[in-house]
A and B are shown apart, each in its own frame.
Chain A
Amino acid sequence: MIELNDIHVVFNAGSALETRALKGVNLKVPKGEFITVIGSNGAGKSTSLNSIAGIAPVSRGRVIVDGHDITKWPVHKRSKIISRVFQDPKMGTCEDLSILENYAIACGRTKPKGFGFAVNKDLKEQAAENLSILGLGLENRLNDKVGLLSGGQRQAVSLLMATTGETKVLLLDEHTAALDPKTAAFVMQLTKDLVAKLNLTVVMVTHSMSQALHTGDRTIMFHQGKIIFDIAGKERADMEVKDLLELFKKDQGEELSDDSLLLG
């Protein structure tokens, strides 16, 4: 479903600030697989996600999703097959628009946007029905501005919006990192439920090693712009955070001691 072939990403190429964020990343994610991505700050985990989403400037290599070579596709064209949930709850929704209007925009992601009225009775019913899954009572607040919702509510709505239509690939960029633990757990459970129900192919970036090992089917770790581990199946099931740290030490000959990486 997702294929990264020898992806190189360079920021500020040719200047004194040149940063080689990705140095030849190869990755294949089959259809229906839920893959978690970890790594310390600057390791390249978000950049690799952004190369799939179309935000990172890929200087070499090819990105193939659902059989299409999308390396040169603009973001809005990729959105037909790829949807995203951002880390910042404010990013995934338009705060000036109502919940219903936001939902209408998300529904237009996989369909062309025409000159018909965006919000109609069918859409209203569909939105109410889907929002009721969240159990937040938002189905009764369809005309409220999204700006009035809390961060957790907005993230739940973003997630719901990202899974409307014929989405095939879901990209999650630390989408629970900005939430309090209880809300984060709620959003994570919602993620698992929606992904299972819709059989989506998922790439989830996270800072929490424990979350990475206990969510999805496969875990990869980035270090200095490259994938250093790729574990799945029984090996992964038996692994705890301390084993992962041990593996890192053995492999790289250095301690993994980044404050930004949650060891718990």
Chain B
Amino acid sequence: MSYYELMGTFELSFIFAILALGTFITFKILDFPDLTVEGSFPFGASVAAVLITSEIPIISNAWLATLIAAFAGFGAGYATAILNVKFKILHILAGILIATALYSINIRVMDGPNVPLLGVDTVFTVFEDIEYMKSFEAKTLFLGALVLAIKFSLDAFLATGVGLSMRASGSNAEMAAANGVDVGKMRLIGVGVANALAATAGALFAQTIGASDAQSGVGMIIIGLAAVIIGMSLLPSRLMWHATFAVIVGTVVYRLAIAAALNSDATGLNASDLQMVTAFLVIFVLVVQHYSSGFLARKKGRKL
């Protein structure tokens, strides 16, 4: 793998790490298996792409468009949580329903299956003319800093009264309610924030590859899960700031493993095998966890 390829892998890793931190909130903290991200990732991409190419002053600014995409993602997650909290629809089904609806909504938003982002200013445009650094290095560095900023904000939030309440809601909902925690509200906020992160990742992904595509959400949930599961298997800890770090490491390890598998001629795999390789990787880690239970799983607590 060349230096350029390695940096590219890191760049994508950091974008997916934003999504994976959202998956960490839903699966690990709230115990709410949320599949909305399959729709909210391309939703973020679509909203950002349409705004950036709209040529409307201010709103077509890539940074603002990315922020608006994050809010749109929050809305999508909030909708899933409403279905679960208010209407008692099973969490997994609620996520599938919203993700399914978003597939059509994304095509409506983009007025077609995709929107190219060529020749427009994206959030990465500023990194193109930096003297002492190549643009791809600057981009990777920026995304790394962004992931860390999100990680530290999440760490701080989880240490607050509300954050602790959210953790209690996922760990023991009945106890949380008996201690004055509005469990429903925690789900609404938590699933909303997780999808805001997914949409942000989607918006950045579209700006990196230069297009937003309605199909880009396929397999996102498994990427997020792979990152969380691999990270927490490699670096098991009960401290929250360790766990969020583990999620980022997990994403990088996952992307490196995928890049190595797909780039190697010996494996005979090509790009379209990505989803299969990812699924097998997750299955592999879960099976290893199963056989090491009693020793490792106890320390890690609940299995995914």
Which residues of A are in contact with B by a Cβ distance under 8 Å?
53, 74-77, 79-80, 83-84, 86, 90-98, 101, 104-106, 108-110, 113-119, 145, 147, 161
Distance from B137 Cβ to chain A, minimum over Cβ atoms (Å): 36
Listed residue (B167, B168, B178) with the most chain A CB atoms within 10 angstroms of its CB: B178
Q: Is the CB of A76 within 8 A of B182?
A: yes
- Tell me, yes or no, whether B84 is within 8 Å of chain A by CB: no
A147–B238 Cα gap in the complex (Å)?
12
Judged by DSSP, the binding face of B is helix
- Tell me, yes or no, whether B118 is within 8 Å of chain A by CB: no
- Tell me, yes or no, whether B176 is within 8 Å of chain A by CB: yes
A53–B163 Cα gap in the complex (Å)?
25
- Tell me, yes or no, whether B100 is within 8 Å of chain A by CB: no
Q: Is the CB of B172 within 8 A of A95?
A: yes
A86–B179 Cα gap in the complex (Å)?
12
- Cβ–Cβ < 8 Å partners of A114 in chain B: 160-162
Q: Is the CB of B172 within 8 A of A108?
A: no
A105–B172 Cα gap in the complex (Å)?
12
Q: Is the CB of B162 within 8 A of A113?
A: yes
- Cβ–Cβ < 8 Å partners of B174 in chain A: 86, 91
Residue of A nearest to B29 (CB): A96
- Cβ–Cβ < 8 Å partners of B182 in chain A: 74, 76
Q: Is the CB of A96 within 8 A of B160?
A: no
Task: Using A105-B176, A108-B180, A110-B180 as known contacts, say yes or no to A94 and B171 having CB atoms under 8 A apart.
Answer: yes
Task: Using A92-B175, A94-B171, A113-B165 as known contacts, say yes or no to A118 and B159 having CB atoms under 8 A apart.
Answer: yes
- Tell me, yes or no, whether B88 is within 8 Å of chain A by CB: no
Listed residue (B159, B171, B182) with the most chain A CB atoms within 10 angstroms of its CB: B171
- Cβ–Cβ < 8 Å partners of B112 in chain A: none
- Tell me, yes or no, whether B301 is within 8 Å of chain A by CB: yes
Q: Is the CB of A116 within 8 A of B161?
A: yes
Distance from B14 Cβ to chain A, minimum over Cβ atoms (Å): 27
A117–B175 Cα gap in the complex (Å)?
21
- Tell me, yes or no, whether B164 is within 8 Å of chain A by CB: yes
Q: Is the CB of B171 within 8 A of A79?
A: no
Distance from A82 Cβ to chain B, minimum over Cβ atoms (Å): 9
With A90-B172, A101-B164 already in contact, 6 other A-B pairs whose C-beta atoms are closer than 8 Å: A74-B182, A86-B175, A91-B175, A94-B167, A96-B301, A106-B179
Residue of B nearest to A80 (CB): B180
A6–B301 Cα gap in the complex (Å)?
45
Task: Using A79-B180, A94-B172 as known contacts, say yes or no to A115 and B162 having CB atoms under 8 A apart.
Answer: yes
0 or 1 for each of B19-39: is its CB under 8 Å from A? (1 = yes): 000000000000000000000
- Cβ–Cβ < 8 Å partners of B181 in chain A: 76, 105, 108, 113
Identify which of A74, A80, A104 contacts B164 (C-beta below 8 A).
Answer: A104
A109–B161 Cα gap in the complex (Å)?
11
User: Size of chain B's interface in residues, with CB distance under 8 A?
Assistant: 25
Distance from A181 Cβ to chain B, minimum over Cβ atoms (Å): 26
0 or 1 for each of B141-177: is its CB under 8 Å from A? (1 = yes): 0000000000000000101111111011001101111
- Tell me, yes or no, whether B201 is within 8 Å of chain A by CB: no
Q: Is the CB of A79 within 8 A of B177?
A: yes
Task: Using A95-B172, A105-B168 as known contacts, say yes or no to A115 and B160 having CB atoms under 8 A apart.
Answer: yes
Distance from A70 Cβ to chain B, minimum over Cβ atoms (Å): 14
- Cβ–Cβ < 8 Å partners of B160 in chain A: 113-118
CB-defined A-B contacts under 8 Å, sample of 6: A76-B181, A94-B172, A94-B175, A118-B160, A119-B164, A161-B179
Identify which of A83, A96, A161 contacts B238 (C-beta below 8 A).
Answer: A96
Identify which of B159, B162, B183 contacts A76 (C-beta below 8 A).
Answer: B183
A79–B180 Cα gap in the complex (Å)?
5
Identify which of B157, B180, B183, B302 contacts A109 (C-beta below 8 A).
Answer: B180
Task: Using A114-B162, A118-B164 as known contacts, say yes or no to A93 and B172 having CB atoms under 8 A apart.
Answer: yes
A76–B85 Cα gap in the complex (Å)?
15
Q: Is the CB of A105 within 8 A of B164?
A: yes
Distance from B291 Cβ to chain A, minimum over Cβ atoms (Å): 22
Identify which of A95, A109, A119 contacts B171 (C-beta below 8 A).
Answer: A95
A106–B179 Cα gap in the complex (Å)?
6
- Cβ–Cβ < 8 Å partners of B178 in chain A: 53, 75, 79, 83-84
- Cβ–Cβ < 8 Å partners of B163 in chain A: 118
Q: Is the CB of B161 within 8 A of A118?
A: yes
Task: Using A105-B168, A108-B180, A110-B180 as known contacts, say yes or no to A93 and B159 having CB atoms under 8 A apart.
Answer: no
- Cβ–Cβ < 8 Å partners of A75 in chain B: 177-178
Q: Is the CB of A147 within 8 A of B180?
A: no
Distance from A153 Cβ to chain B, minimum over Cβ atoms (Å): 16
Residue of A nearest to B174 (CB): A91
Q: Is the CB of A97 within 8 A of B168?
A: yes
- Cβ–Cβ < 8 Å partners of A118 in chain B: 159-161, 163-164
A53–B179 Cα gap in the complex (Å)?
11
Residue of A nearest to B183 (CB): A76
Residue of B nearest to A101 (CB): B164
- Cβ–Cβ < 8 Å partners of B162 in chain A: 113-115
Distance from A160 Cβ to chain B, minimum over Cβ atoms (Å): 13
0 or 1 for each of B226-260: is its CB under 8 Å from A? (1 = yes): 00000000000010000000000000000000000
